[in-house]
């Protein structure tokens, strides 16, 4: 697979569902007073496992929440995120997965 193609390649359905579930779980820990949580969850709850939607969910988080997300997903899913971040050009020292 050529460079940057992996970033846009969907992971397994199992990995996608796991990441989606955990991402929604993290968003739901925040105060929704201004509708921020509803907005974020609304963006990902119905997305499909196509193109770069897997990485879209990761990119919604700041580095601290990416660390949290990394800590609650399986090793296989974490590796899938990491490989795609590297493929997308993220410097490895900034990758928390």
Cβ atoms of 55 and 7 within 8 Å: the answer is yes
Kindly list the distances between the CA atom of residue 90 and the CA atoms of 27, 67, 87, in Å, as whole numbers in the listed order: 24, 15, 7
Distances (CA, A) of 68 to 5, 48, 54: 26, 23, 16
How confident is the model at residue 32, as a pLDDT? 94
Residue ranges of domains in the chain: 6-94
pTM, whole model, 2 decimals? 0.91
Q: Is 29 helix (H, G, I), strand (E, B) or coil?
A: coil
Task: Judge whether residue 8 has pLDDT over 80.
Answer: yes
pLDDT at 1 over 60: no
């Amino acid at each position: 697979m050529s460079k940057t193609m992996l970033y846009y390649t969907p992971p397994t359905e199992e990995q996608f569902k796991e990441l989606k579930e955990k991402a929604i779980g993290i968003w739901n820990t925040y105060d929704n007073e201004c509708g921020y949580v509803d907005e974020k969850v609304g963006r990902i709850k119905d997305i499909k496992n196509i193109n770069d939607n897997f990485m879209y969910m990761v990119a919604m988080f700041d580095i601290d929440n990416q660390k949290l997300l990394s800590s609650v997903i399986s090793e296989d899913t974490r590796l899938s995120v990491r490989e795609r971040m590297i493929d997308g050009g993220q410097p490895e020292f900034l990758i928390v997965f």
